[in-house]
Amino acid sequence: MNIQLSISMLVSDRMETLGKCLASLKPLLTELDSELIVVFTGKNEETLELIQQYTTHIIPFTWCDDFSKARNAGLKEAKGEWFLYLDDDEWFEDTREIIQFFKSGEYRRYQSAFYIVRNYLDFEGERFSDGDVGRMCRLTPETEFVFPIHENLIPFSEPCKKLTAFVHHFGYARKETYERKATKTSRNLPPLLEMYEENPNSPQCCMQISQEYRSVGEYDKAVEYCRRGLSLARNDELIYNYELWLQVNLPLLISYTGDLELALEEGERMLKHSRTLEAGSLHLSVTLTALCLKLKKYRKGLRYVRLYHEKLLYLLKHPEKAILQRAPGLTLDSAKKETVPVYMDGLFFAAEDKDFQTAKQILSWMPWEDENQMMPHYPRLEEWKNTFENQKDAILREYEHLKTSNSYVCIQKVLFAEKQKRKQKAEELWRECAANCPPGFQWELFEIAVRNQFSLEALLDHMSPEAWNEYSETVTERKEWAEMQAFYQKIMPLLKVRPFYERKLEQCFLEKLLTRELFEPVKLIELLKQYCTSICTDASFLYKEEVLAKPEAFALPTRYRFAAPLKDALRLIEAGKFIESFPLLKDALHIYPKMSGTVGQLLRYLEEEIQSPKQAVPEEFMLLGEQVKQVLRGLIDGGQWTEAYGVMGQLLSLLPDDLEILRMKQEILRQGAGIQNLY
């Protein structure tokens, strides 16, 4: 009888994960002619009872700080054609692919296989990284584990099968990154240094010592052992994974010491070495590209961007090489994650060198169809375009040639068509973008539409009221006043088809207008009535009449709770009932401090009217003036200097002889001196 697969587990007393691990192996044990071997290092009888439900092949092992010895204890008793090993803190999500690999006989065409370990960085499983691991191979008399820490299974030869099956692994999850580093380094470094003394010709030991020193920031030591290991590795006839790690990390570690020029020179020497394989060149080109950016060696940087692209394409076409040319943290997948950052550096290099032919080529290499991969890099693409303002036309022209449906590229094509005064083409592309706008770019699409008077419906169809509210607040706040006035006049006619959206922008605009300028009484009351009417109209569509009858209800938006009493106060003022309006103005003042300066303007008008021979100055007026000052004190205490300056200016015009206001004005000017647009 033939055993296809031997599964070996190293088990301690981690009961919280052992059950999941064993349960995930059950399909393999059921569907395949396979065996389970457990190397048991624990002491808990409960753990043993659970293991015995799945296998009787249990090997007691006294832990001796040597993973290879423990693994080899299980390997020695394995009888299968193939061997697979794992720990008791990891479990398979789905083993059907592995089962099919053996049932179909496909395994006979391979010597080894990789599957994926999903390493979680937190106990909630929200942050993780995936990595291919070589933990399955054909069992031969030469098969063994080597190295006491971070043990390796050798020989691991090709042809090699890459599986998509994966295990969950929480072994690296820690609540604090510092705790993880401190614990693992303090545990690993002393035995590694001791082993190096016993075997100073081990390049793998040098690699792992270098890793440990790097993890605690002792980069000079990390460089020292990296150099030693690399020198030793070159004595081997074959090129092993530790040599790849040493090749790639030496220039990186040197850069951490601050000597960027030496790091660049070392990386360039490494590229020329005969033992540097394609994967080594690929990963080295990432480091060298970053170094060239920091050192402002733009033309040389372009050389390494091209090298990265060349080696990436080669390994994608030759996956059998990619799967063997790998080391801890250095895989084809990890290199692919650097694709867009490397190409982005290339775009900056090309622009600095005014090499737009290369820029065009690099843009064509970008994975535009993968929106998830591209989206985080849109801000840097904007930075590239805006940094080289005098070359913006040339940059936009390069986007014009790209054959992609990517929404960011589409926006650039709109801008190019607009510059070329091809309005019909620009509008056609704009509508396409509006239907699929990337996050953060609605702003630019609105600007384009307003400049060219395109209908906004295509964009507003995909914009929620909440998003529009946020946009209205932001655009009103960010734009300079003269610019905002011109923009407002152009955009409002385009919003007639969406009255709700029109009113929201109107409210934001009126707030900015009312809080920054002084108006004649008639104009002030007219603008306030327009403001209140806009807000109350919105509320009448959104809330029941009985809710609106109690505007003090905290469930209602602040603007409505402010506008409702203010609207009633304005009605009384127009009827000449100034004194009766005071309680309503007092209520409004406390609800929305942002508009307290505007209420101050209204108070000044009332003062002038009340001081006429027909009416005496009421005590309520003086109290209300004091309340406005209290609002101003609150804004000062909260460090809201811009808002405080607006309220102060209006209050000073109301009470020009009040020395306290003059003192507050000086404090606002001193504290808010660095704030843009204070005046």
Q: How confident is the model at residue 552 (pLDDT cuts 50, 70, 90)?
A: low
The pairing of beta strand 82-87 with beta strand 152-154? unpaired
Residue 188: is its pLDDT beyond 80? no
Q: DSSP assignment of 307-320, as one string?
A: HHHHHHHHHHH-HH
Amino acid found at 507: Q
What is the arithmetic mean of pLDDT over 372-386?
Answer: 92
pTM of the model: 0.68
Cβ atoms 363, 377 nearer than 8 A: no
Residue whose token pair is 């895989």: 331
Which residues are within 8 A (CB) of 38 and not within 5 positions of it... i.e. 6 or more apart? Answer: 8, 9, 11, 51, 55, 57, 58, 59, 74
Per-residue pLDDT tens for 562-590? Answer: 998 899 999 999 888 888 888 888 888 77
Helix %, strand %, coil % of the chain (to 5):
65, 10, 25
* Position with higher pLDDT, 66 vs 349: 349
- Say what the pLDDT of residue 428 is: 94
pLDDT tens digits, 463-511: 889 989 999 999 999 999 999 999 999 999 999 989 999 999 999 999 9
> Which residues fall within 8 angstroms of residue 397, CB to CB, at 6 or more apart?
416
Token reading at 110: 């391979």
Q: Pick from 282, 286, 290, 276: which is nearest to 230 by CA?
A: 276
Nearest alpha-carbon partner for 44 in 17, 87, 13: 13
Q: Which whole-number Å values give the CA distances from 28 to 7, 46, 290, in the listed order?
A: 9, 24, 46
172: pLDDT confidence band, cut at 50, 70 and 90? low
Residue reference for tokens 């000052």: 629
Q: Which residue has the higher pLDDT, 161 or 123?
A: 161
Angle at 185 between CA 181 and CA 187, to 5 degrees: 125
Give the model's confidence band at 551: pLDDT under 50 very low, under 70 low, under 90 confident, else very high: low
265 confidence band (pLDDT: 50, 70, 90)? very high
Higher pLDDT, 60 or 440: 60
Q: Which DSSP state fits 366? A: S
Name the band, by pLDDT with cuts 50, 70 and 90, for residue 389.
confident
Structural contact between residues 599 and 589, judged by C-beta atoms closer than 8 angstroms: yes
Place 179 in a pLDDT band, splitting at 50, 70 and 90: very low
CB 346 within 8 A of CB 302: yes
CA pair distance 264, 286, nearest whole angstrom: 11
Residue 183's pLDDT is 46
- pLDDT: which is higher, 483 or 134: 483
Q: Which residue has the higher pLDDT, 593 or 497?
A: 497
Q: Are strands 82-87 and 5-11 parallel, antiparallel or unpaired?
A: parallel
Provide long-range contacts, Cβ within 8 A and 24+ apart, for 69-73: 69/148, 70/10, 70/39, 70/41, 71/8, 71/10, 71/39, 71/145, 71/151, 71/153, 72/144, 72/145, 73/39
* Per-residue confidence (pLDDT) for residue 576, from 0 to 100: 84
Place of tokens 């006043």: 481
**What mean pLDDT comes out for the span 611-630?**
63
Is residue 420 pLDDT above 50, yes or no?
yes
What are 314-331's pLDDT values in tens digits? 999 998 888 889 888 898
State the pLDDT at residue 674: 54
* Euclidean distance between CA atoms 88 and 134, whole angstroms: 17
Give me the pLDDT at residue 178, please: 40
- Residues 367 and 408 sit within 8 Å (Cβ to Cβ): no
Of the options 3.90.550.10, 1.10.3720.10, 2.40.50.140, 3.40.50.300, the CATH number for the domain spanning 5-173: 3.90.550.10
Q: Where are the alpha helices (DSSP H) in 517-618?
A: 521-542, 545-548, 558-574, 578-591, 596-610
> How much of the chain exceeds pLDDT 90, in percent?
53
Question: What phi and psi, each to the nearest 5 degrees, are found at residue 168?
Answer: -80, 135
User: How is the chain split into domains, by residue range?
Assistant: 5-173, 553-671
Of 481 and 655, the structure prediction assigns the larger pLDDT to: 481
Instruction: Report angle CA 677, 678, 679 to the nearest 5 degrees.
Output: 90
| Mean local confidence (pLDDT), 10-14 | 90
pLDDT(25) > 90: yes
Residue 158: the pLDDT is 79
The pLDDT > 70 percentage for the chain reads 92
At 174, the pLDDT band (50, 70, 90 cuts) reads: very low
**Amino acid in position 573:** I
Q: Which two tokens stand for residue 367?
A: 């994975």
Q: What is the mean pLDDT of the chain?
A: 87
Nearest to 253 by CA among 280, 282, 215: 215
pLDDT in the model for residue 655: 67
Q: What is d(CA 477, CA 486) in angstroms, rounded to the nearest whole number? A: 14
Over 90: is that where the pLDDT of 423 sits? yes
SS3 262: helix
